[in-house]
Amino acid sequence: MLEGNGAASEAMRLARIGVVSAYPVTPQSPIAEVLSDYVSQGRLDAEYVRVESEHSAMSVAIGAQLTGVRTGTATSSVGLALMFEMLGVAAGLRLPIVMPVVNRALVSPWSLWCDHQDSMSVRDSGWMQFYAEDCQEVLDLILIAYKAAEHADVLLPTMVCMDGFFLSHMSQAVMVPDQEDVDAFLPFYEAKNLKLDPSDPMFINNLTPSTEFMEMRYQQFEGFNNASGIIKETMAEFKNRFGRGYQPVEAYRCEDAEAVIISLGSMSGTVKHIVDQYREKGKKVGSIRIVCFRPFPTEDLLRIVPENAHVGVLDRSMSLGAQAGPVCMEVRSALSERRPDVRVQPYVAGLGGRDLRPVAVTTAIDQMLEGTFNPAAQWLDVNENAMTIRRYTEVA
């Protein structure tokens, strides 16, 4: 039995990371703690660097990875926000660092609990992003992430996101593969690009003029283009070796569906459960789960979304000031030109640790089956007194 955090730690141990630099932040702390235990017990042959912040955690990971060693770090919420600057450095230097991100709401209001605003706010930072549905997937996706990220045609850092508490602190039975099988899947790390070597010095991250900057961004863009296919190949190879298959997008009972819910991460379990209930009643309802959000699997989505479907996207964060949350905007952008038969309805649910209650999902599905459509985001399961929850009587 492992919790999501435990599954992440196991995956990083199996990946034989040589340097750990992690700063504890709820609900990621157990990853930092368990990796520290592994190092002190001799179960992981790694240098454990106790850093003073997440900015330093990522800086150390970047420096270490530049010397040609596989590194491990993990973070969450405000920790990820504090890393922001260095996320771009890791991406621009094309360092395939893999980082579990335990999804937790961003301030303010302060929260320790799950939503996706942290990782969604860095969706354009040049990192690939995978979202796990259960603890087994946390382990598997981390191994897949290392392999795909380190491919010479990819070289992109990767976040493996898991929902805070819903996954990070949920015990589930997890198959932990043997070390020798993982070694065969994920060989010893070898730097394929920039490498810091005292005997052959070079500058990295030098001030780059406009004559070269766009070209380097374009290199990253190409890396993401290549990544789509390589992720699929890596997932197929993982299935051959370990028996568990994954896809960048997962379709569930989508055949002939009139209403389809698109979601990420642990929300999808609830959605699929409810889809089953509708199917038992003969209602044509399906679920699509986006496993790989960056690179966004546009082609797969175009293929999977059933004809004339009403698609509802459950966003666990809101792009404030926009019409919809980030996942919905992405889905709309993917479908808008090439699938005029489909309507995409934005929904927002489950912020700041609120459970995705079945009523939230059934409300959305019922609206879609009725044919109700509103281009602006519909907030599900929000208390009616939202605007007056803290009403005080002024004392004279």
Partner 1 sequence: MPITDSESGREKTVLGPCALIFSSAQTGTWRDVRPVVDQEQCILCGICEKHCPVDVIRTGDKKENGSLEIDFKYCKGCGICAEVCPQDSIEMIDEREVSGEKNYA
Structure-token pair, residue 90: 């890791």
Residues with Cβ < 8 Å from 336, sequence gap 6 or more? none
**Residue 253: alpha-carbon gap to chain centroid:** 23
DSSP string, 71-131: EE--B-HHHHHHTHHHHHHHHHTT---EEEEEE-PPSSSP--S--SHHHHTTTTSS-EEEE
Structure-token pair, residue 263: 């979601």
From 173, 202, 386, 396, residue interacting with partner 1 (rule: CB under 8 A): 202
From 109, 173, 188, 210, residue interacting with partner 1 (rule: CB under 8 A): 210
From 194, 302, 329, 369, residue interacting with partner 1 (rule: CB under 8 A): 194
Q: Residue 50 and residue 346: Cα distance in Å, rounded?
A: 42
Residue 92 binding partner 1, by CB under 8 A: yes
Task: Closer to partner 1 by CB, 211 or 388: give it.
Answer: 211
Helix 84-92 vs helix 210-242: crossing angle, to nearest 10: 90
Q: Which stretch binds partner 1 (CB under 8 A): 101-109, 157-165, 205-213, 274-282?
A: 205-213
* Residue 213, phi then psi, degrees to nearest 5: -60, -50
Task: Closer to partner 1 by CB, 150 or 381: give it.
Answer: 150
Subset of 237-256 contacting partner 1 (CB under 8 A): none
- Cβ proximity of 162 and 265 under 8 Å: yes
Residue 203 binding partner 1, by CB under 8 A: yes
Q: Which stretch binds partner 1 (CB under 8 A): 89-97, 138-146, 160-168, 274-282?
A: 89-97
From 31, 98, 155, 231, residue interacting with partner 1 (rule: CB under 8 A): 155
From 40, 53, 208, 372, residue interacting with partner 1 (rule: CB under 8 A): 208
Residues with Cβ < 8 Å from 341, sequence gap 6 or more? 307, 308, 309
From 193, 240, 372, 374, residue interacting with partner 1 (rule: CB under 8 A): 193
Structure-token pair, residue 100: 């579990």
Q: Which stretch binds partner 1 (CB under 8 A): 79-87, 136-144, 192-200, 285-293?
A: 192-200
Closest contact distance (angstroms) between CB of 153 and partner 1 is 10
Residue 223 binding partner 1, by CB under 8 A: yes
Residue 209 binding partner 1, by CB under 8 A: yes
Q: Residue 376 and residue 332: Cα distance in Å, rounded?
A: 12
∠ CA 10-142-357, rounded to 5°: 95
Task: Closer to partner 1 by CB, 211 or 385: give it.
Answer: 211
From 1, 180, 198, 207, residue interacting with partner 1 (rule: CB under 8 A): 207
Q: Residue 84 and residue 121: Cα distance in Å, rounded?
A: 9
Q: Residue 65 and residue 80: Cα distance in Å, rounded?
A: 19
Task: Closer to partner 1 by CB, 27 or 223: give it.
Answer: 223
Q: Residue 29 and residue 396: Cα distance in Å, rounded?
A: 46
From 53, 171, 179, 219, residue interacting with partner 1 (rule: CB under 8 A): 219
Closest contact distance (angstroms) between CB of 220 and partner 1 is 8
Closest contact distance (angstroms) between CB of 201 and partner 1 is 8
Q: Which stretch binds partner 1 (CB under 8 A): 67-75, 86-94, 338-346, 367-375?
A: 86-94
User: Would you tell me which residues interact with partner 1 (CB under 8 A)?
Assistant: 92-94, 155, 193-194, 199-200, 202-212, 216, 219, 223
